[in-house]
A and B are shown apart, each in its own frame.
Chain A
Amino acid sequence: MNVGRLDSLDRRIVQALQEGLPLVPRPYDAVAESIGATPDVVRQRIAAMQVDGRIRRIGAVPNHYRLGWIANGMSVWDVDDARVDELGGRVGALSAVTHCYLRPRRLPQWRYNLFAMVHGRDRGEVANKVADIGRVLGDAARAHDVLFSTRILKKTGVRLGAAPPEGSPAGDAGPATVPIHQPARAGSAQG
């Protein structure tokens, strides 16, 4: 197992939090109690995971449709490989673009290598933003398409397995590789 930066205590914390933060006045204390650790240590570990990026952020994850961002278009572009790195950075810098990635083509079904997610109040707004991307890419883009989302089918976030895979080091903080707290999965309350 290559989770070198997730020892057994970190892992128990991640598992205790993956359904969400407890909605109580002292949520980190509640997590600590559920995994048999002290609140101070739990908060220190969470803060450390934020600092090194294992936690991207803590907070509210909205359903963007409910916020009025009705139109969600995944714009995809067939961009000259020699120029895509330079141009990808410029596309990502556009305020309309929330995610921008280079991904492999899958010929013959899929010719696009640059993916840029665009949100808008309606499809017209997305189309305008896509046109802005097109102007940045210029003749380096040979073709593009926009895949509008019609439904969120699932949005639960990361779920780790109940125990580290075989061969995982026990880590330096916990008594065992077997987590004390195993969160519920299917059918759990998840907004």
Chain B
Amino acid sequence: MDELDRAIIDRLQIGFPVCERPFLEAARVLGTTEEELIARVEGLLRDGTLTRFGPLFQVERMGGTFTLAAMSVPEARFEQTVAAVNALPEVAHNYAREHALNMWFVLATETADGARDAVRRIEAGTGLPVLIFPKEREYFVGLSLASLR
């Protein structure tokens, strides 16, 4: 990752224009060309530095819900459980964590029923109980993390 990559990540985490030639507009701010910027973003996605490039949707503003959920998965069954959980399109992200509850994921669904249904399918598919932690209040959500030198 060079200086331009870092600048792209830091700048484009904050936002991206909505206009006819947004890469051209962003490239001007970054001091590069449209073609180079597109190639860099492609490269950062390909090598996994970026996981996505595009809009972040807030399903709660569309009437939907985000639900944090956790499971305690035996180590011997961890990989098969990851596959079963991740197979649901409702699972927006999923992290392994060091705790008795060692798998934490977020369900993004268009309805509260959708979240309950996804939990039932995961429990049926894995044979493991799912604890859910619906958000009661949001005190803060940050938008970005800077790339470190």
Which A residues are within 8 Å of any B CB, using their own CB? 1-6, 14, 17-21, 23-29, 39, 43, 46-47, 49-50, 52-64, 66-69, 72, 74, 85, 88-89, 91-93, 97-104, 106, 109-110, 115, 119, 121, 145, 147-161, 165, 185-186, 190-191
Residues of B near A72 (CB, < 8 A) are 95
Question: Which residue on A lies nearest to B49, using beta carbons?
Answer: A66
> Contact at A98–B99, with CB atoms within 8 Å?
no
The answer for the CA separation of A27 and B24 in the assembled complex, in Å, is 11
> Contact at B139–A55, with CB atoms within 8 Å?
no
Which B residues are within 8 Å of any A CB, using their own CB? 1, 8-9, 12-16, 18-24, 34, 38, 41-42, 44-46, 48-59, 61-64, 68, 82, 85-87, 89-99, 101, 103-105, 108, 110-111, 131, 133-143, 145-149
| Most A-side CB within 10 Å, residue of B22, B53, B105 | B53
Supposing A25-B21, A69-B145, A191-B45 touch, asked if A100 and B140 sit within 8 A by C-beta, the answer is yes
CB distance from A7 to the nearest CB of B (A): 11
Q: Among the listed A63, A100, A101, which residue makes an inter-chain contact with B136, where contact means beta carbons less than 8 Å apart?
A: A101
The answer for the CA separation of A158 and B63 in the assembled complex, in Å, is 13
A-B contact pairs, 12 of them (CB 8 A): A5-B61, A6-B62, A14-B57, A26-B21, A55-B56, A56-B55, A61-B52, A68-B148, A106-B133, A153-B82, A156-B92, A158-B57
Main secondary structure of the interface of B (DSSP, over half): mixed
The answer for the CA separation of A150 and B82 in the assembled complex, in Å, is 14
Q: Among the listed B20, B82, B110, which residue makes an inter-chain contact with A165, where contact means beta carbons less than 8 Å apart?
A: B110
